A and B are shown apart, each in its own frame.
Chain A
């Protein structure tokens, strides 16, 4: 769909070092990426650092993005997660989070984007949240531990004292269930702005 074309065109322009193209991508994904990074690192400065590192990589490696890697948003979220998880692991000896008061400060009323766009985006997000909530609790737990906390399957097995095979099957079933629920969205576009 257009989003893909748009993504590819934007990345082509970024590879050609057009700052406006990078800014366009930045504007489109800033909040989503920042919120995602913050969800992982639980620290505003660290989250900003993740976003910065991500955009440095986008700017310097735009030519490496190709369609087989999926939508640009997926590519960027993957990189952002890798950066954030690496950061978590480097700080592993420290407490993961100390968002004292940070949450309250940050939680967000929407800033005035286009109303229709906002409604569409909220609808999309709502659908994904619902799909997540429909997962069984133990499935949500493995998703949370692996995807948002950066643990490996072995670490999850150890942390929760559950067999590795159980961790694997929970992940497998969870992803398949999400796939079923979100199949339509996977084929179509979505709103990140």
Chain B
């Protein structure tokens, strides 16, 4: 045993020790990677894959090519300036007859209706009134007679625009943009242009919640960081217990507290401060209160750990050098808490951006954030393309901010390590 260890088991092969060590290290690395691979494969199937499929749906334009394949092919070399030629009309008539037989007209009309309002009716009337394939050479006349919309260039450019395989339609719609008949990007009609407002609202609420969390969290974090450990550990329970309480429980509790005959209104009436109940819930106020409550611990905990790392010697040094308490606080203490403020604020902001449950339960119609619309278009109206496009924009914003957050926290860990 000892002999084998000294000479090395592989010694007879004549492989130098350095190479053998290298080989052993490489084997160790392969083994290490092999331990991570199961989780990576699992996440590929349950997380990365699903999100990629959502992103694909934001640009996937499959409906019209599947239902009207010959029309799409016939329109491929159409210049878009005049009406398409007889060939396109004949292809459309064939496609509509085939789609009627297969029962797929509704799929195409739903997609085309997004592109051109009223297209559903055009397709429905055409499919109803087109009895048989028109005689060769008469397709344009026949279709035009059934529905005059087929004499309109816009109808055809809607089909061409939705002809796949990929579209920027949903992504543009998510930003209140659309393409006109000539393919140029223009502002969407006012009745459809609501998403910039929703994004602005989402950002405003998230920023407001982060600010409220900072205002409320700063004194608490300061208190916890300054008190002796025994007492601060005890008070920490008040932060951790809500943190661990179910989101649904907390949301439900706020409704009980804030509704018109709820605890807060009853209390204020009992004290004689108000006569009629205040409207405290199902509006923006309720959203701010409930979201701040849910996210406050995410602000307090990073602030607390950054304040805990500040040596009290700095403040004493400032005082001994003649700085007034306010000056010492503003010039010495506050700058050292900035990384904590940044990390906590950004964390709260990122988490708030994606909030769905709380605003859905305590907000009114005008307080719903972007996640609400993503959910609405997925489950209620089944406009999956738009839901995915809105999701893609939200995902992009979240990942960008999360990268900034990662850099911020990583930088802190590095400096923290150097301080120790």
- Is chain B a partner of chain A in the same complex? no
A: residues with CB less than 8 A from B are none
B: residues with CB less than 8 A from A are none
